[in-house]
Amino acid sequence: MTSILAGLVLVFVAFSSLLLAGLAVITNDTGQPGSTLFGVLALALFAFAGILSAYILRRFKH
């Protein structure tokens, strides 16, 4: 059950970071400011997903 929860968290946050990365590409192509910020947020969110999943697996492991 714990691994399912960690997997769901990882998938949800990874999908969110992919949306942010897509937003970074769109803003970069249109020349709008903020593409670097969206890219950095996407990477940070993906790293946070990995850390959170590892924490869930370690904390609730029986």
pLDDT in tens, 8-45: 887 888 788 788 777 777 777 777 777 778 778 878 88
Alpha helices (H) in 1-62, listed in sequence order? 2-30, 35-59
Count of residues in the chain? 62
Report CA-CA distances (Å) from 29 to 22, 36, 48: 11, 12, 27
**How far is residue 15's CA from residue 45's CA, in Å, rounded to a whole number?**
10
What pLDDT score was predicted for residue 62?
A: 58
**How far is residue 55's CA from residue 13's CA, in Å, rounded to a whole number?**
14
Q: Domain range spanning residue 39?
A: 2-59
- Predicted TM-score (pTM) of the model is 0.61
Average confidence (pLDDT) over 55-61? 80
Least confident of 20-24, 44-48, 54-58: 20-24
Domain count, the chain: 1
Q: Residue 32: what are its φ and ψ, rounded to 5°?
A: -80, 150
